[in-house]
Amino acid sequence: MNSDEVSSCEYQKFKDDFDKYVSGNLRTSKEAEYMQTHEDEEAILTEKLENLRELIASSKHMVVYTGAGVSTECGLPDYRGKDGVWTKRAKGEKYDKFDVNNVSTGFTHKWIAEGVKEGRVKHVISTNVDNLHVKSGLVRKENLSELHGNLFIGECRGCGKEFKLPNPLQLDDTTRLEHTITPPIPCSVCSEPLCDNVVSFHSTFEDVPSMEAIHDAAWVQCIKADLLLVLGSSLSVPSACDLIDTTHEKGGKVVIVNRQRTPKDRFAVMNVFADCADVVRQLPW
């Protein structure tokens, strides 16, 4: 079997496994309640927000964890919502591809960035690759841990340098598997071709070496957190979602703001069923 045939077999296995993952991870057949959208009644929401404001006021080390739900107000789709990318894919429906190049930050991104600036939010952990937290003023690897990478970053596996790209990477199923950038971009330091740092299904730390340090930094922050505020995440993708367990085990409080239930709800002291932007507009600073 030649190299092209091996690559083709690897790709087909990746595609088959990914389709199986999408279908299973959505829990469409066994746990349909995770697919249902919820919305707190006004009186209940008011009470929850008052409790959340008290938790924020008393927190000494607040960490914010974000998912696709913080970017829907910017026009980007989520993954497991009613019209999410994976939801449609699992149903065999077509979904529109989206361009993150000209997307502006939303109110939620700005609220988080202001909290970091004022020292109220000690760190931000995100599974988003859309670069919007960076656009809002956060600094990668300083006050932001991007667990799944960034579409605007190319990194060199030769010398370890990373570079900001002028345009977002356009990833297809093949480049997601191989982490290649097309057309190739040479490293300005050692001339090796740059790779993307996007963690997709089937990716491991071996595939994206830089992500191990990012994950470890996020893990340390979850140990320190006395309050972990989750915004717009279904908390369905290991090992990113398992960080919530860490905060709970270390005695920190977890609050989840999401329109759907999550597999980590049992660790939360409060679930707020509302849009992220609607919630943070009523929170301090």
CA distances from 265 to 11, 141, 193, 253 (A): 35, 28, 42, 12
Supply the pTM of this predicted model: 0.84
Which residues of 2-120 form beta strands (DSSP E)?
62-66
Query: Quick check: 249 and 21 in contact, CB under 8 A?
Result: no
Break the chain down into helix, strand, coil percent, rounded to 5. Answer: 40, 15, 45
DSSP state of 164: E
Three-class DSSP category at 154: strand
Which of 30-34, 156-160, 169-173, 207-211 shows the lowest mean pLDDT across its residues?
A: 30-34
Residue 23 has pLDDT above 60, yes or no: no
Q: Could you report the per-residue pLDDT of 98-152, keeping only the tens digit for each?
A: 677 889 999 999 999 999 999 999 999 999 999 999 999 999 999 999 999 999 9
Would you name the residues annotated as active-site residues? Answer: 148
